[in-house]
Structure 1
Amino acid sequence: MHDAGDKNEQVVFHLAKPQVGIQLYTLRDQTEKDFLGTIRNLAEMGYSLVEFAGYFDTSSKVLKQTLEDCGLKAPSAHVGLNFDEPDKLESDLKRQIEYALEIGLEYIITPWAPLPEAPALEDVQKLASILESSGKLVTESGLKYGYHNHDFEFKLVDGKPVIDHLLELVPAELMIAEFDLGWVHMGGQRPVDYVKRYAGRVPLAHCKDFGNGRRDTEVGSGVVDFKSVFEVAEEAGIQYFIVEQEEFQSSSLESAKQSLAYLRSQGY
C-alpha cells in the first residue's frame, strides 16, 4: 500500500513533459542505405530520441557510440517475436535482449502478433500466454517489455476488445502498453480514453495520423485527436511520444520534419 506521501512522489515524477522521438521504420528507405547517417540526420533535425526497428548488422559498440556522439536517446526497439517457429522464439528473443542491453535500451516492444480474422477467447488467451512468457524473459534481464497495437486488437471477443483482454491477462509488471494512437482511432476508439484507462502503464505512445481511409499522413494533418491526449499525457505518465508514418506525399525525411514541427507547435 502507498501512503499519501508515495502518491505525491509519483505525481511529481510524472510531471516532466514527454520527449519526442521517431520510430526508425518511418525512415526505412533511408536506414537501409545509410543507417548511422540517418540517425545523425534525425539528431540534426531536432529529434530527442529514436526507436529501433532492426539494426542493419551494426555492432552494438558502434551504434552506442553514434547515439552518444549525436546526443540521442534510444529508449526502445520494436522486436518481432518468432511466431512462425515457436521452438526458436525464446532463443531469438534472448539474442535481442543481449543486444538491447549492450546499447542501453530500456524497453523491448513486440510490434505485432498474429490473430485469426475472427478470434475466439482461446486465441487471445494463447497469445497472452506467449506475451507473458516473453515479458518474464525481458524483465528478468532488467529491461521492460511492451506491446504495440494496430487496429485489429480492438475487435470484440466476448464483448471486450482484444487489447483489454491482453492487458488484463498479462500482469502490468510484465507488459506495458505502447499505444499507437492512430491505430486506436482506426479501431473505433478514442485514444485519450485508452491513455487514461491505462494511466501509469503507457510510458511510450506512437503518434500516427490518418488522412483518407487507411492512408496515414504527417502527425497533426489528419483526423486523429492528439490534443486531448496531450492534455493528459503527463498525468498519465507518458514519457515518450514517438512519430511513426508509412506513406509519404514527398519523402520520409520531409514528413519527419513536418511531424516534428507539429509536435513542437504543441509545446513538445
Structure 2
Amino acid sequence: MHTAIQLWTLRDHSGPQAETFERIAAAGYDGVEFAGLSDPVETARKLEAAGLLAAGAHVDAEAIRADPAGVTDDLATLGVPYVVVPYLDDDHFADAAAVAETATMLDDLSGAVEKPLLYHNHTHEFVPIGTETAFDRLIEETTVGIELDIGWAQAAGRDPVALLETLSGRAPVVHLKDVTADGEPTGLGEGVVDLQAVVDAARAAGTEWLVFEHDDPAAPIEAMAAAADVLSTLAVE
C-alpha cells in the first residue's frame, strides 16, 4: 500500500506549495490527496518535481454536477486515480428514502466523470434507520466505492476493522485518522484506534492508499511529520 496525506490537514500552513510538497516527500509519504482542484497544471508540475503521486481528490458533488467534463480534465492533468465526494449533509441520510436518493445521486455522479468515484464518511452517516444505519443502507444501495474514514467511523461507535471487512474490494482509499475516546481528532497514534489492525484489515480489503488526515492540528507540519513517523512503525507494505 502507498501512503499519502490529505492536504486539508495542511490548510492553515502558509508555505509555498512546492516547498510543502518537498516536505511531504522528505517525511516519507508517497503522495497527497487534494482537497479541491486548483491550478492543476502548475500543481501537477510541482507534484512531479517533489516525486509525489496523487492518491485522489476531494471534489464537492455540486462541482462535479456543474462541470463534469472540466473536473474530469483536471483529474487527468493531476494524474488523480480516484475522485471523492467528501461530504453530504444530514438530510441525505435522514431516512430510508433519503438514503435511496443519495445512492442514486452518487451513482449518477460516478457516471459523469471518467475516474472511479468514492464517498467519504463522517459520523452522521451512521444514524440508525430501523435495524441498520444509513451508512449500511448506503453501501447496499450504491455501486460507488467508499473512502472509509477510520477516525470518524470509530467516533460513531463502529469497529473500523469490521467495516473494512464489509467493504472488501470497495475501499481503495482509506483515511487513517486517530480519535480520542470522546471522538475528537488527535495525532496519529495518540488516540484509541488500533492502527496496525486497521492497516492489516485495509490490506486484506484491497486498499491501495492509506491517507493520513488530522482535521484540526495545532501545528500542521509537525502533525504531518509525526504521523509519518508513526506510519513508519506500521507494517504498511
CA distance in 2, matches of 1:53, 1:77: 6
Match in the other structure for 1:69: 49
Match in the other structure for 1:258: 226
Correspondence 1:34 to 2:16: yes
CA distance in 2, matches of 1:182, 1:257: 19
Q: 1:117 Cα shift?
A: 9.3
Correspondence 1:54 to 2:23: no
1:176-187 → structure 2 map (5 Å cutoff): 176-187=145-156
Number of paired residues?
236
Q: 1:213 Cα shift?
A: 2.3
Which residue identity lines up with residue 20 of structure 1 in the other structure? Answer: T
Q: 1:54 Cα shift?
A: 2.4
CA distance in 2, matches of 1:46, 1:101: 25
CA distance in 2, matches of 1:34, 1:69: 14
Residue identity over aligned pairs, in percent, reads: 28
Match in the other structure for 2:167: 198
SS in 2 for 1:116: helix
Match in the other structure for 1:100: 75
Q: Which one of the candidate residues 112, 123, 130 is aligned to 2:105?
A: 130
Match in the other structure for 1:170: 142
Give CA-to-partner distance per residue, 1:9-45, whole Å, 9 cap, x none: xxxxxxxxx1111000000012x55233212221122
Q: 1:209 Cα shift?
A: 0.8
Which residue identity lines up with residue 189 of structure 1 in the other structure? Answer: R
Q: 1:253 Cα shift?
A: 0.5
CA distance in 2, matches of 1:21, 1:200: 20
Match in the other structure for 2:5: 22
Match in the other structure for 1:15: none
Moved more, 207-216 or 240-249: 207-216
1:131-170 → structure 2 map (5 Å cutoff): 131-138=106-113, 141=114, 143-170=115-142
CA distance in 2, matches of 1:69, 1:76: 18
TM-score normalised to structure 2 length: 0.93
Match in the other structure for 2:202: 233
TM-score normalised to structure 1 length: 0.82
Which residue identity lines up with residue 89 of structure 2 in the other structure? Answer: P
Give CA-to-partner distance per residue, 1:55-81, whole Å, 9 cap, x none: 4x42x2222221221111102001111
Contact 1:115 1:123 in 2 (8 A): no
Which residue identity lines up with residue 34 of structure 2 in the other structure? Answer: F
Which residue identity lines up with residue 134 of structure 1 in the other structure? Answer: L
Q: Name the Cα RMSD after superposition.
A: 1.8
CA distance in 2, matches of 1:158, 1:240: 33
SS in 2 for 1:135: helix
Q: 1:233 Cα shift?
A: 2.6
Which residue identity lines up with residue 253 of structure 1 in the other structure? Answer: I
- Which one has a bigger Cα radius of gyration? 1
Residue 146 and residue 118 in structure 1: after superposition, are their counterparts in 2 closer, same or farther (change >3 A)? closer
Give CA-to-partner distance per residue, 1:113-156, whole Å, 9 cap, x none: 12239811111111112111101112xx2x11100000111111
Could you tell me which runs of 5 or more consecutive residues in structure 1 were left unpaired when the two chains were aligned: 1-17, 83-87
Contact 2:41 2:78 in 1 (8 A): yes
Could you tell me which runs of 5 or more consecutive residues in structure 2 were left unpaired when the two chains were aligned: none
Q: Which one of the candidate residues 181, 188, 194 is aligned to 1:219?
A: 188
